Amino acid sequence: MNELLREVLGWLGYLERPEVCLQILILLMIALGVHSLQRAGFDHRFPKLLKPLVGPALAALATLTLLKVSYPHGLASFITASWLGWSMLTLLDCGLCTYLPRQRVHELLSRLLRPLYLLAVTLLLINRLDSVQDLALISIGQFFDTDLTLGKLFSSLLISYLLLIGSGPPAAVVAWLIQWLIGCSDGSRKALELIIRYAVVGIGITAVGFQIGLNSTAIVAIAGGLSVGLGFGIKEVFSNFVSGIWLLFEGSVRPGEVLMVDGDPCEVRKLGLRATLLWRDRDNAELLIPNQMFFTAQATTYTASDRMRRSEIRIGAAYRHDPRVVLRLLEETAGTVPRVLKQPAPRALQVAYGDSAILYSLRYWIENPMDNIGIISEVNQAIWIAFDREGIEIPFPQQVNTILENPGIKGGPVARDTPTSPQH
């Protein structure tokens, strides 16, 4: 570690040179100026594709000026080229959004491309100040009787990061190919994608351990330490992880399925290592449910075998209307709603005699359980219009107060009926 510290302190001598300080100052002033223009809104005058290139263009102009006057400009050229590459990533973001979902593009850039680009720029900058190969040979200590160098540590961390973050797209491609070959459902494809990703990460982490020089004895010792930790601090985390793997193999909870959580339909978006991510449509909320909860609590799914769901609406009609007419009208009205399935056909039932009306039940099938609330609203509006057109009354409860004459008082009030205001 002392050798690494001496190397880092040696870089400060390069940064203290007047030529280097002037180049840094010029580029810093350009960056602050571009930021001020963006905050003031002056960049709106430029086309959308040219906005990210304004800063690199000004930096390139300053670099050419230094070159014209025969002033040192190596660092300025490097920073300008790096700034231009970063701007190209911004343009790539705009281009990919026209072909891929916005969320996928954001994850690809923020978790993979931009960190890798910054890492590459950092390594190139260090190579200008020193030799990366020499730095990689610096020893930083012993790990299970194995000499751990800076290069081994860096490569191990980089490979682990790529396995955790970059294994998603290849796993998705392999799962898509398997789905194309055997014709499995989308839920099975997503579950297979997660299983492939976990397998790749597990094998990769083990390979990283062997790469840094760990032998089988060291790996067994690490596994023993983890087992002790599982028994104390991270027992719940490991339980949720095992539960997630079991759910994937069992197929009871898969991405794309719809579960009822607290009376609301929620779509499973992602089955993670610790928790399952669900999306609730009515308020666009995302719920994180620990995987272990699916083994200890009851859950209702509408997509175990298919996504069809039966929905129901209850409504009352006045006693003076023929129930056969009302039943037929309810079934015909539900058939006119576009998102109500024609097969199985809607069915209306007479379920009870109420105090003020005959109660009917209209049952129909929908294709997507997440659309249930919106379809209920559409069917209710269609029933209102149909009843109004056919003159069918939807009664509301009423109460009648009868005032009786007191026989002991002459000239008392006369008995009469006075209806009160409707009570809904």
Task: Establish how many alpha carbons lie within 13 A of residue 13's alpha carbon, considering only the half-sphere containing its beta carbon.
Answer: 7
Q: β-strands 285-290, 300-301: how paired? A: unpaired
Tokens at residue 196, please?
Answer: 């492939």
Task: Give the per-residue pLDDT at 29.
Answer: 92
Task: Give the per-residue pLDDT at 356.
Answer: 85
Burial class (CB in 10 A: 0-12, 13-18, 19+), 269: middle
- Give, for 19, the enclosing helix (H) or strand (E): helix 18-40
Enumerate residues 6+ apart whose C-beta is below 8 A from 137.
149, 150, 151
Enumerate residues 6+ apart whose C-beta is below 8 A from 297.
none
| Distance between CA atoms of residues 390 and 388, nearest Å | 6
- Does pTM surpass 0.85? no
* Positions in the chain whose pLDDT score sits under 70: 1-4, 6-14, 41-49, 143-146, 185-187, 213-235, 238, 245, 248-252, 273, 299, 302-306, 398-400, 404-424
Task: Give the per-residue pLDDT at 316.
Answer: 92
**H helices, E strands: number in the chain:** 15, 12
**Where are any strands of DSSP class E within 176-263?**
258-261
Task: Give the per-residue pLDDT at 8.
Answer: 66
Q: What is the DSSP string of 369-405?
A: GGGHHHHHHHHHHHHHHHHHHHT--------EEEEPP
Q: In terms of Cα–Cα distance, which of 369, 359, 361, 352 is closest to 331?
A: 361
Please report, for the chain, the start and end positions of each structural domain, with discontinuous segments joined by +.
1-136, 244-301, 309-390
| Distance between CA atoms of residues 62 and 29, nearest Å | 11
Reduce the DSSP state of residue 422 to 3 states and report it.
coil
Peptide bond preceding 52 in cis form (omega within 30 of 0): no
Sheet with 285-290: strands ordered across: 285-290, 275-280, 264-271, 258-261, 300-301
**Is residue 21 within 8 Å of 71, Cβ to Cβ?**
no
Q: What is the DSSP letter of 332?
A: H
pLDDT in tens, 133-181: 777 777 777 766 667 777 888 888 888 888 888 787 788 888 888 888 8
**Is residue 348 within 8 Å of 416, Cβ to Cβ?**
no
Q: What is the CATH number of domain 244-301?
A: 2.30.30.60
Task: Give the per-residue pLDDT at 384.
Answer: 94
| Distance between CA atoms of residues 390 and 96, nearest Å | 54
The domain over range 309-390 is classified in CATH as 3.30.70.100: yes
